[in-house]
Structure 1
Amino acid sequence: MKLLVTGGAGFIGSAVVRLAMARGHQVVNVDALTYAACLDNVAMVADSPSYAFEQVDIRDRAALDAVFAKHKPDAVMHLAAESHVDRSIDGPSDFIETNVTGTFNMLEAARIYWTAQGKPESFRFHHISTDEVFGSLPNDPSVQFTEDTPYDPRSPYSASKASSDHLVRAWHETYGLPVVLTNCSNNYGPYHFPEKLIPVIILNALAGKALPIYGDGSNIRDWLYVEDHADALLLVVEKGAVGRSYNIGGENERTNLELVKTLCAILDQKRPKETGSYADQITFVTDRPGHDARYAIDPSRIREELGWRPSVTVEEGLAQTVDWYLDNERWWRALQDRHGVGERLGVKA
């Protein structure tokens, strides 16, 4: 299968590219190379004759049309998006332009291409989204997000992703475009851009800096190892039912404070300090505006219909992630000078 992957130089997109290539697919990686992208993420496949890279912004419709005409993909995996909630608070316009207008452009380019090809039934447009479109849950383990949970986005980021989800469903209903959708929980793992919680904690700990936790650390997230996520995404694009959405979760709920303490314990074991614990560096900071209390995914549909489950616990995945950052200092040091990295963002509201 020839896959057109948008955002394939980003965190989740590059995991999809690497796994798809390992499984024998052809991949066309479409990425604008904005601040969070890094071609080192896919350097190990870049010389393969089955791989092509196109530096294209999904806001550029004409360029997208040219990519479809040139490469003639069998399926689209649309991951390109602005994704950092704190940045969306400071500058929401980029999120509307990329996540909403960019998705519209992708849908139109895909629709025109699919129509010109005779509307093959095998074509798929797989839109990758987030559980944040569903809003916030109470601290009640019996309540989780399902595919039927009403949308209730609370940040400019989640509102832009909710908008893009609605567009994808509309293009299926109106034009018959064969789509599948997925909504995932918080990802973590290798190649995670160093502005998100887990890499921030790892890298600040190693640098002897404060480990910032928003509010009192009681916010709960379900954590999904990125390579598990990539496995689920490839399964959905190959075997998911047209018009169907699938929630992908790690089945690993933790409070932010629990997560950070787990990371500190792993670092204490793998790279011990001369004195004390990395947990001594934990610092509570002013909460993020509109910070959702809890996200939790019910993954029953993808488990029952497609037979998928995550392969690692959060403790196993975090240990693997810490090992990766300890072994790949050259990668993350090169990214620390990029705009906004290491700064507290999203406090202007």
Structure 2
Amino acid sequence: MNVTNVTGQADGSCQVEPQHMFVPVVVCLVLMLGLFLNIFSMWVFWCRTPQWKAGTVLQFHLAISDVIVCPLAPLIVVYFVQEQQQILTRPICWLKIILITVHFYGSILFLTLISIHRYVSVVYHSQDSRMKQKDFVQKLCLAVWVAMLLNGMLSAFLLDSNSTTENITLCSAFHLGQNTDLYFAFNFIIIVLGFLIPFTVLVVCYSRLVRSVSGISVCHQKGKLIKSKSRKMVTICLVIFGLCFMPTNVIRIVTIVVKKWFPNKCTILLHVETAYYVAWIFSLVNCCLDPLIYCFASQKFTKALRSSLRKIGVGVRTARQDIEQDSGLTTHIDPAAGTIKRETMAFTDTL
């Protein structure tokens, strides 16, 4: 990610100029809010949720992937204020690319795993599954971190700091001076593996989940609560993918195509870069939206959150309301029979 505009020079190349201050201001506001929400969520997980299950592990790792990108906020502000004068050294450039890449694709993969876990836990709640096993899920999370770290290091190596103009260090595919062909191929591989496949899996899981839940004739408040919570989670996940992840991936493809086949079209490159920064801002909004998933996916998190807020005098609920909500989430839907039935295992205890 670099903070520059592009204008043409006499030799046909594209000259670097500072971006507008609107970008770092909005980015910092988003990251500060995301840092607060995710630190609070991690505290609820760590201090207020004594017994972790598979779903809790996935949600905690998603919160970590959101937090790791927040330290970039001060760097972005300084970089803009100083107009890129000897601020972004090569090690910082590498670190920035790695953190952004790990956050972006790590969030996508953890959201996908949460979606798979939610689907298995609800639709196949009475059957055993590896996705319900805490040890197996922990190994999956470790594999995701290793894969994303390797992805970040490869991205940093390909972008590198090889685009340097006088005293300005650039870390962006917009000004990639070499390795263009290699980065072109690498980018499409990452988009397929890191976005298209996870998005397809998420859509399949949630479409089947919605069909399973919506096909029930519900005449009781308990069933309505279950359907409402499931639909809200499906909605927020699809919004995160559609609003935060899809625009950035699409514009990145356009960027690489323009850079590869139209490297001297500075005006086109400028418009693409501007669109990319707008999409990048939206991609960071997922830091603020992900905590909503914890509330919709886990009864344990919701109860711990309400308990924490009560202690500071916020969001106090009556005992009757708590009983109604909790009992509404301790029922199961039988899609075949079209009825609601109670079971010994809570609907969200496995989440």
TM class, shorter-chain normalised? Answer: under 0.3
TM-score normalised to structure 1 length: 0.25
Higher relative contact order (CA 8 A, sep 6+): 2
Structure with bigger helix share is: 2
Structure with bigger strand share is: 1
TM-score normalised to structure 2 length: 0.25
